[in-house]
Amino acid sequence: MLLGNVFHAFVHGSPISVMFQGTLERVFDPAKIDQLFEEHAVRQYTRQLAFSQCVQLMSDVVFKTSPSVNAWVEDHLDELGVTRTAVYDKLQHVELPTAEALVKYSAQTMRSAMKQLKFEKSALLPGYCLRILDGTHLAGTEHRPKVTRGYRAAALPGQVLAFYNPQSDLIEEVICCEDAHAQERSLTEQILSCVKPGDCIIDDRNFCTTRLLFGIHNCKAHFVTRQHGSTLNNTLIDKRKPAGKDAEGRQLYRQEMSCTNPASEESLILRRITIELQKPTSNGHQELHLLTNLPEEISDIVIADLYRDRWTIEAAFQRLKKDLRTEIDTLAYPKAALFGCCVAMMAYNVVSMVKSTIKAAHGTEWVTEKLSTYYLTLEISRVARGMEIAIPAKAWKIFGKMTDVEYVSTMIELAKKMNLRKYTKHKRGVKKPPPKKLSGKNIKHVSTAKLLANNTK
């Protein structure tokens, strides 16, 4: 192992913490982060407070090693050399292209290292780059801006659209929008700028618009999308025919559909796959209609299963909110809140890299079925402060200097030292139905001790 004796105690006591901190050092390298800032900043510039320091601040808050932005600033005032007001002012003006570039950079860095991992990864759609597109709105914040103080309603700081790669479990690109009320389809221009030839974009019906579908097709890419009831100029060409059953046993049907684009007078023949649901949706729909321009050699059953995997991005968003501090309610200004969200997505990619390393060391099945991300991040937050004191900052620079091969081999060695029992999920049994409850109208409260005593008689 390339790590020196200074790491010895933590390598044996908490190897997962060394893995995380080393990966953070590799991704959050100040020189690279500041270079990214210089390349993408439009109006912002560096005077005293470096952009890399802002990213470090947010990463500590996201990983819960610091309880809040204010607490982190209080701990680092001497090294910052600026006032607390200056820090908040910098965060409130981080430009969206800079925040978006952070996520893309982290995905590229992690993808490069993942190529060195030697574990079997079956392609979900061979020959295509599968990417799931979805959006999430940031939760309401404190009413800190003066203009929000006259409202009881939640103050929403914005929304993000994310391109998620289920193959690598990386969030590859994001699109930030400060207007929380803006429709997702209003961001079509930005979405198309992220689409590359050979992509297969899977998305929900909110993205099923003429402009977006034709735009993806003209980018020499493909899509699988749920049909919206009123956003397309379309004509069904033939009667639907049975097309087998998907992995859940649901009946499938297929037929062709002709779509036209009034703006360009283009036409497009799409495959329409209907899934007969076993239970109606929340809106009472008994069927789902999927549209795709994938070639005929990709079967209808495969396409239906791909769309079902679209929910993996929902799981990714849930893990972001549960295991990391994605939404910081004290960051009420849109740019600051979106910047915090982007740093959280960088952190998610770091977690994905560590999990991929554990797969290489202990097998995909254990990570998929038993690994608890909650216990991983919990240990990191507990150990990080002590490790920061015990190991000097310059010692961590070794992770940034490693080649991808050296970095991956070091990570696998650390993963093999993990005590897997500490990070295993504790699955609950079958949930029992709740008992009938007595009304609290007349009896306002009860004595727990009396109830326990009476229950033993």
CATH number assigned to the domain comprising residue 176: 3.90.350.10
CA nearest to 7, candidates 346, 378, 417: 417
Same domain, 127 and 26: no
How many folded domains does the chain comprise? 2
Residue 432 lies in a domain: no
pLDDT mean over 32-58: 88
Q: Distance (Å, rounded) from C-alpha 292 to C-alpha 272?
A: 7
For residue 224, the SS3 value is strand
Q: What is the bridge-based pairing of β-strands 129-137 and 199-203?
A: parallel
Phi and psi angles of residue 155, each rounded to the nearest 5 degrees, phi first: -95, 110
Task: For 406-436, write each residue's pLDDT tens digit.
Answer: 999 999 999 999 988 888 887 766 777 888 8
Task: For 189-238, write each residue's pLDDT tens digit.
Answer: 999 999 999 999 999 888 888 899 999 999 999 999 988 877 788 888 88
- What is the structure's pLDDT at 247? 80
Task: For 147-192, write each residue's pLDDT tens digit.
Answer: 888 888 888 888 999 999 988 889 999 999 999 898 888 899 999 9
Residue 101 lies in a domain: no
Same domain, 221 and 352: no
On the question of pLDDT at 126 being above 90, the answer is: no
pLDDT mean over 22-38: 90
Task: Compute the mean pLDDT over every residue in the chain, rounded to the nearest whole number.
Answer: 86
Boundaries of domain holding 38: 5-96+324-423
pLDDT mean over 386-409: 88
Same domain, 333 and 412: yes
pLDDT mean over 302-310: 84
Same domain, 330 and 239: no
**Residue 286: Cβ within 10 Å count:** 11
For residue 223, give the H/E element and its range: strand 222-226
Q: Which residue has the higher pLDDT, 284 or 75?
A: 75
pLDDT mean over 249-259: 89
Same domain, 160 and 284: yes
User: Percent of the chain, pLDDT > 70?
Assistant: 95
Instruction: Supply the pTM of this predicted model.
Output: 0.85
Same domain, 268 and 244: yes
pLDDT mean over 132-136: 88
Q: Distance (Å, rounded) from C-alpha 344 to C-alpha 339?
A: 9
- CB of 209 within 8 A of CB of 229? no
On the question of pLDDT at 120 being above 70, the answer is: no
Of the candidates 290, 316, 342, which is a domain's last residue? 316
Residues counted in the chain = 457
Residue 440 lies in a domain: no
